[in-house]
Amino acid sequence: MTGKQSEGIKILPEGDSAILIEFPKTISPEINGKITSLAHLIKEQHIEGVMDMIPAFCSLLIHYDPRVISYGKLLNRVNKIMKLNLDMKSKTKKVYEIPVCYGGEYGPDLEFVAKNAGLSIEEVIKIHSSKDYLIYMLGFLPGFSYLGGLDERIHTPRLDNPRIKIPAGSVGIGGAQTGIYPLESPGGWQLIGKTPVKTYDSDRKVPVLFEAGDYIRFVPISEAEFEKIEKEVEENKYECIVHKEEVE
């Protein structure tokens, strides 16, 4: 049994304990807004048996316990929720300020990004830190944020030969996207800076700092400020600045 919705939205079984809700395959704030709204509406329903939801660019994956709720019953509940207005926009947005020390040992590829764009290093930093980035989805690594809205002027090809080890907290550009490496890992993005903030911490009650639908604002800091914040983070004294702002 498969559920189908208007506007090109489809509900499909994904194995024996998950359903996949597919939206039109267009990466846009509008589609992301619908996915975020749907996830929030399902959470508000407190459907027994729903274990987890994973938003992506154009879909929402719902994991459930088939011993608690059947596929048919869950499909029926989701179909009812889908009839609600998914275009309702939140009046506020949650913006996380992420301090970043650009260049130097923290951003070894910043000079290349500047040369590739035909800009100065200062211009790249200003452009990269001048807007709020929508978190479309989390993936690849726990807490790795895929951000939308990178200025076309600083789009930069990935490395020809990916690095074997990238430090946690590194901020990079890969093609038309920018993001933060939450853990030490291999990777092929151009590294332009690093944040001392732990965007993923397995010791926290909620390990991932933010979620899909939130926003990130990069704030340039000096090396001295980086070291100060890094120490505060290690001593559990640092609190990330979070704004709730009116949506334009």
Show pLDDT as tens, one digit a residue, over the chain (248 residues). Answer: 444 444 678 888 988 999 998 888 877 777 877 887 788 788 878 889 888 888 887 888 898 999 999 999 999 888 888 877 666 555 678 899 999 999 999 999 999 999 999 999 999 999 999 999 988 878 767 778 888 889 999 999 999 999 999 999 999 999 988 999 999 999 999 999 999 999 999 888 888 898 888 999 999 999 999 999 999 999 999 999 998 877 66
Pairing of strands 215-220, 92-102: parallel
Of the candidates 131, 134, 137, 145, the one whose C-alpha atom is nearest the C-alpha of residue 199 is 145
What local confidence, expressed as pLDDT, does residue 90 receive?
A: 55
The pTM of the full predicted model, rounded to 2 decimals, is 0.74
C-alpha distance across the termini of the chain, in Å:
41
Task: Indicate the pairing of strand 59-64 with strand 92-102.
Answer: unpaired
The whole-angstrom separation of Cα 9 and Cα 152 is 30
Burial environment of residue 42 by CB neighbours within 10 A (0 to 12, 13 to 18, 19 or more):
buried
Instruction: Record the tokens describing residue 210, joined without a space.
Output: 């933010």
H/E element, 61:
strand 59-64
pLDDT at 101: 98
* Predicted pLDDT of residue 1: 41
Looking at residue 223, its pLDDT comes to: 97
Q: Report CA-CA distances (Å) from 101 to 75, 136, 184, 191.
A: 47, 24, 17, 11
Contact by Cβ (8 Å): 19, 135: no
Looking at residue 45, its pLDDT comes to 82
